[in-house]
Amino acid sequence: MAVRIIREEGDEILRKKSREVEVVDDKIRELLDDMVETMHKYNGVGLAAVQVGILKRIIVIDIYDGKGPLKLINPVIIKQKGEQEVEEGCLSFPNKYAKMLRPAEVTVEALDENGKKIKIHGKELLAQALCHEIDHLNGIVFVDNMIPGTLEYVEPEKNV
């Protein structure tokens, strides 16, 4: 496992559409593990492969609920319900946050790390994270959908 470099705002790869994964193999599983390690190192809730420079439809999410990280390949939202106003940030946009409207619930179909088809039902934070990461796979970043005028830059804390 290895921590990967996160691509940041202004990197054109973040605007590209990711490609479907054809075969789930050891290389894909290694990428998933690296993505989880990278996400945890930077205290993220989710990470898309494009954020580490790989245009594949792969995301990882950990909402720290004790169930461990989700590793999803080729995720697709098949159902959404309700609406929630949330504050969102992104590892590719360090220290920037904005308010957005996201579905309150989503159902996602994907492949797991063994290539098995799974269905995930997410509410609240999980629904938000699923939508955010799947947006990345389509070249959409959170500032594209923010409520106008809500973007804030939070000064990082200095280590004394």
pTM of the shown model:
0.95
Question: pLDDT category, 158, cuts 50, 70, 90?
Answer: confident
Question: pLDDT category, 156, cuts 50, 70, 90?
Answer: confident
pLDDT value of position 160? 60
Class of residue 124 by CB neighbours under 10 A (exposed 0-12, middle 13-18, buried 19+): middle
pLDDT (mean) for 106-131 = 98
Cβ–Cβ under 8 Å, residues 33 and 68: no
* Annotation: CATH topology of 12-153: Peptide Deformylase (3.90.45)
Residues involved in catalysis: 133
Q: Tokens representing 26? A: 């050891």
pLDDT value of position 159? 66
